Structure 1
Amino acid sequence: MMMYRFLFALAIAGLWSAPGWAQLSNNSRLLAPFRSVIEPVRDSTVRVRVNDQDVAIGAIVAADGYILTKASELRSGENITVRFVDGTEFPARIVGSHRPTDLAMLHVDVRNLKPLRFGDSRKVKPGAWVAAIDIKSEPVAVGIVSAVTRKPTGPDAMIDNLNRGYLGVFMTAEDPTDDTGKVIGAKVTRVERNSAAAKAGLKEGDIIVAVNGVKTPGRQALRDALENSRPNDKVRVTYLRDGKEHTVEVTLGEQTMPDRSDIQNRLGGTLSGRRTGFPLILQTDMFLKPSDCGGPVVDLDGNVLGLCIARAGRVETHVLPAEIIVPLIAEFKAGKFAPSSSGTSTSTPPRKDEKNGQDK
């Protein structure tokens, strides 16, 4: 009850309103009363690090070393470690990646861990207070539920990972096929000026058939082949031009054409590279960094509503609901989502094309 009175007084004092909310969401005065709420969950939370840098938060989901975190912040082959609440740090490996939810499962050789106990996000109401958890004694951010669990629509329903390397081509809506009807590649309809593809000499009409020796039969396969890449990575792109096969080395770039809403949203800080295309989301107004995504989110009763999956806007952070996550845990452990050689999930569904096949 004391916490409710404190939060109510804080709101009445006018600290609640924007633009101050960006600073208030992780202000120590507001975070401190949540310590008792998050304490039972902290032991089930880890900090995920890549090459000695914090990239995400993770949640322990099995006592024998299995952890879920945000997939798009990781890359296969990198030095991944996880740090526990007691400060110990252990190497981790990616054992699964699920593109629709942007979840990755890590495994560490540690036993007798405390797995997270998930609740049900559908029971929380708009205006309810929530907190995003780190391994520290205070949450990384607090806020309120601004929209109940829902299915994204329109552009928000489309998967787009801006963390990955950018080729800079547009592709045909229909993938090209051979005489038997078999899809042979992804056909380029336009090459962006000064893009990675333009600098490498790719042209309109080229059909991209492989990346680093991995065949790309269609637009989605090309996107998947680039999913684990980053800007400045060098990749070998094989393409057909006038019936002849060519291979060229391409230094990938980054997407440089944010729309107006992206520009406005970024005024509040960096957004998550992958922030759309989730099957369900619980929307909050928590203000946090992309590197603080991936961990548990609780309500004032300590119920774990899901995992913080993306900083999506200036004052908009999305939670992947518990009811989506729980059924996936056993499938992850069974190897259903084991990463392919290209670093993407082996269970990646096709998606509708929203920009005439714009590359990724």
Structure 2
Amino acid sequence: MNIAETGTEKIEMGKLLYSINAADKVMRSVLGSTLFNLPKINSQPYLGAMVVYNSSPVQFSLIKAGSPAEKAGIKVGDELISINGKAIEKASEFAPEILKYWADDEVAFEWTNASGKMTKTFKLDRRGQSVSNHPADKFEGGKSARRDGFNAIFTHDAAIKTEDCGSPVFDWEGRFYGINIARFSRTTTVVIPKKTIVEFVTKHVK
């Protein structure tokens, strides 16, 4: 089957879908959303530093013990110059710049203190995940480590295990709808749609 055949399958809530895992087991589900963006929440990187509100130059106001910022040698009162070569001139630019990155990304910080200009390249950490005893958070296989920070995705209610993400999604007529990419909750699996896949393949595979 040519997945790039004309047209894009219509993302309609309530449509019956089917997923096939690595063991060839067919799982039925119901399409649960239209296309939407799922911003970074659990996938936000952890620096362990805060800056003084509205400061310019940007001054660090809090450095958490054991954080990447502390390990890099950044201290309260130090003034940030740049992140990966991008100048950070006011406090409002700090958080949006950090949120462009992911846990385990390497970042180069440049800052000043009483000793002069400092530079250090280090990795951002993962944020600690809250522990919940709610039944909705207790299910076989658990949630995917990365389950947000996606654009133009849809969801369905198949109980896809994390190790089965990457499996295809079809409708009852065999039309390809997308690929399962993350288990979000007990009742929700995230799918990257056919249109996005086709656009990526067309752009990057010659």
> TM-score of the superposition, structure 2-length normalised?
0.68
**1:150 aligned partner:** 35
Q: CA deviation at 1:317?
A: 0.4
Task: Give the counterpart of 1:274 among 132, 146, 160.
Answer: 146
Do the aligned residues in 2 keep the contact of 1:308 with 1:317 (CA within 8 Å)?
yes
5+ residue gaps, structure 1, are: 1-39, 41-114, 178-185, 335-360
The alpha-carbon distance between structure 1 residues 265 and 196, as it changes in their structure 2 partners (threshold 3 A), is farther
**1:247 aligned partner:** 119
The alpha-carbon distance between structure 1 residues 209 and 291, as it changes in their structure 2 partners (threshold 3 A), is farther
Say whether 1:169 aligns with 2:44. no
Residue type of the partner of 2:47? L
Do the aligned residues in 2 keep the contact of 1:168 with 1:191 (CA within 8 Å)?
yes
Say whether 1:229 aligns with 2:111. no
User: Following the alignment from structure 1 to structure 2, what is the Cα–Cα distance between the partners of residues 259 and 170?
Assistant: 24
3-state DSSP of counterpart to 2:34: strand
The alpha-carbon distance between structure 1 residues 160 and 241, as it changes in their structure 2 partners (threshold 3 A), is farther
Q: CA deviation at 1:316?
A: 1.1
Deviations 1:243-286 (A, max 9, x none): 8311346565431153869x765422432233223332321122
The alpha-carbon distance between structure 1 residues 302 and 146, as it changes in their structure 2 partners (threshold 3 A), is closer
User: Following the alignment from structure 1 to structure 2, what is the Cα–Cα distance between the partners of residues 168 and 313?
Assistant: 27
Q: CA deviation at 1:311?
A: 1.3
The alpha-carbon distance between structure 1 residues 133 and 189, as it changes in their structure 2 partners (threshold 3 A), is farther
**1:43 aligned partner:** none
Residue type of the partner of 2:14? P
Q: Superposed, which structure 2 residues align to 1:113-192 within 5 Å?
A: 116-117=3-4, 120-122=8-10, 124-126=12-14, 128-134=16-22, 136=23, 138-139=24-25, 142-152=27-37, 157-160=38-41, 162=43, 166-171=46-51, 176=56, 188-192=60-64
Do the aligned residues in 2 keep the contact of 1:121 with 1:306 (CA within 8 Å)?
no
Number of residues paired by the alignment?
197
**1:305 aligned partner:** 177
Do the aligned residues in 1 keep the contact of 2:166 with 2:181 (CA within 8 Å)?
yes
User: Following the alignment from structure 1 to structure 2, what is the Cα–Cα distance between the partners of residues 309 and 258?
Assistant: 22
Larger helix share, 1 or 2: 1
3-state DSSP of counterpart to 2:180: strand
User: Following the alignment from structure 2 to structure 1, what is the Cα–Cα distance between the partners of residues 204 and 63?
Assistant: 38
Deviations 1:92-128 (A, max 9, x none): xxxxxxxxxxxxxxxxxxxxxxx64467442544151
**2:158 aligned partner:** 286
Q: Superposed, which structure 2 residues align to 1:339-354 within 5 Å?
A: none
User: Following the alignment from structure 1 to structure 2, what is the Cα–Cα distance between the partners of residues 297 and 175?
Assistant: 49
The alpha-carbon distance between structure 1 residues 247 and 308, as it changes in their structure 2 partners (threshold 3 A), is same
User: Following the alignment from structure 1 to structure 2, what is the Cα–Cα distance between the partners of residues 168 and 311?
Assistant: 27
The alpha-carbon distance between structure 1 residues 187 and 286, as it changes in their structure 2 partners (threshold 3 A), is farther
User: Following the alignment from structure 2 to structure 1, what is the Cα–Cα distance between the partners of residues 146 and 54?
Assistant: 25
User: Following the alignment from structure 2 to structure 1, what is the Cα–Cα distance between the partners of residues 65 and 112?
Assistant: 21
User: Following the alignment from structure 2 to structure 1, what is the Cα–Cα distance between the partners of residues 191 and 165?
Assistant: 9
The alpha-carbon distance between structure 1 residues 260 and 187, as it changes in their structure 2 partners (threshold 3 A), is farther
Q: CA deviation at 1:319?
A: 1.0
**2:87 aligned partner:** 217
Q: Superposed, which structure 2 residues align to 1:28-43 within 5 Å?
A: none
Residue type of the partner of 2:181? I
Do the aligned residues in 2 keep the contact of 1:122 with 1:149 (CA within 8 Å)?
no
Residue type of the partner of 1:167? L
Percent identity of equivalent pairs: 23
